[in-house]
Amino acid sequence: MKRITQIFVFSIIIAGCAGHSTQNIGTIIQFQPEFEQIINKNAPIEVIADGFEWSEGPAWWKSENKLLFTDIPRNTVYEWSEERGLQVFLRPAGYTGDQPPGFELGANGLLFDSKGRLVLCDHGNRGMARLNVPNYTKTVLATKYNGRRFNSPNDAVLLSNGDIYFTDPPYGLDGLNSSPLKEIPYNGVYRLESDGSITLVTRELSFPNGIGFSPDEKVLYVANSDPDRPIWNRFDVEENGLLTNSRIFYDATKWLKEGKTGLPDGLVVDKDGRIFATGPGGVIVFSADGAPLGVIETGQATSNCTFGGDGSDLYITADMYLCRIKTLTKGIGYSE
């Protein structure tokens, strides 16, 4: 049964943030010659907004020419555009009750469905939801699997047939896996179909997080944000949408041992199948066969990234910052 709830929205321009910041951070590090065709080594990593507690979940709203992203602890979805700068888009973005299940109350990953509607990983409410604009109500899409509540849906990706695949680690629960509120004994990856049916597609990752398809949708990449197993995994996608042939795409253990900040987190795939994956050090760019090509090193714990604008702007959420860097490629779904 779908449930519709009323929530509040504010149209507030954040003082001091309506224009561009002049601050740049980080550096560009090249591993392979191919990286020169993807990122100009002199491209600045611009800070276009800051002051967040933990920025996450960026999604480009093509029809409105603006970016939406979340600050999970502050239970807020922000919007950013070239014309108007930073504004609050939705608050509260997630949990609205009196006894929160944990620290991370807000929405997490965002995406637009096949009809252009905003779908939220409703982290604090332990479900998947769709925002109904312009009245700003939420339609709850899913909260349970086999009668048990999800942990805290984290990130999601859209398949071209309209199915949504999402990850469900325990980050929204106080105590994580030891939380008494945890009802599912594992941390899964699920498929949500348009009729509301839910399928568990894998439970083998300890902390599944960022997720993305290859351009031909034959491969699914999933990040595992576990310091004891900091990997990106890849799966083959069968015609029925289920996953087979699980294998490690890349193991970032050595980078953690070198003291680099961050864990495998959100990711996005470009039109040529290269993976832009947030992880230790910033945004690591991989070839489709798992070779690290270079790093957009932010110097911060970096949570997620997405393409926007004309498709060549890479927006990055990195701790307190919202950043942007111009690339020489484009995301999936953008014209040449």
Domain positions in the chain are 3-326
Tell me, which fold does domain 3-326 have in CATH?
Neuraminidase (2.120.10)
Burial of residue 335 (CB within 10 Å: 0-12, 13-18, 19+) is exposed
Picking from 166, 167, 223, 221, the residue whose alpha carbon sits closest to that of residue 193 is 166
Could you tell me what percentage of the chain is helix, strand and coil, using 3-state DSSP and rounding each to the nearest 5? 5, 45, 50
Whole-model pTM? Answer: 0.93
pLDDT of 217 > 70? The answer is yes
pLDDT of 3 > 50? The answer is no
pLDDT of 224 > 50? The answer is yes
Q: 47-85 pLDDT, tens per residue?
A: 999 999 999 999 999 999 999 999 999 999 999 999 999
The two structure tokens encoding residue 250: 């890349």
The two structure tokens encoding residue 334: 């953008």
Q: What would the mean pLDDT of 278-294 be, rounded to a whole number?
A: 98
Higher-confidence position of 135 and 213: 213
Considering the chain, what percentage of its residues have pLDDT values greater than 90?
88
C-alpha 88/C-alpha 80 separation (Å) is 9
Picking from 146, 257, 155, 172, the residue whose alpha carbon sits closest to that of residue 211 is 155
Largest Cα–Cα separation, the chain: 54
Q: 162-171 pLDDT, tens per residue?
A: 999 999 999 9
156 - beta bridge partners? 166
| pLDDT confidence of residue 21 | 54
C-alpha 197/C-alpha 274 separation (Å) is 31
C-alpha 50/C-alpha 70 separation (Å) is 12
CA 133 to chain centre: 21
Strands, sheet with 282-286, edge to edge from the N-terminal-most edge strand: 27-30, 292-297, 282-286, 275-279, 267-269
Cβ-based neighbour number of residue 216 at 10 Å = 8
C-alpha 202/C-alpha 52 separation (Å) is 33
Q: Which helix (H) or strand (E) holds 255?
A: helix 253-257
CA 320 to chain centre: 16
Q: 79-127 pLDDT, tens per residue?
A: 999 999 999 999 999 988 776 777 788 999 999 999 999 999 999 999 9
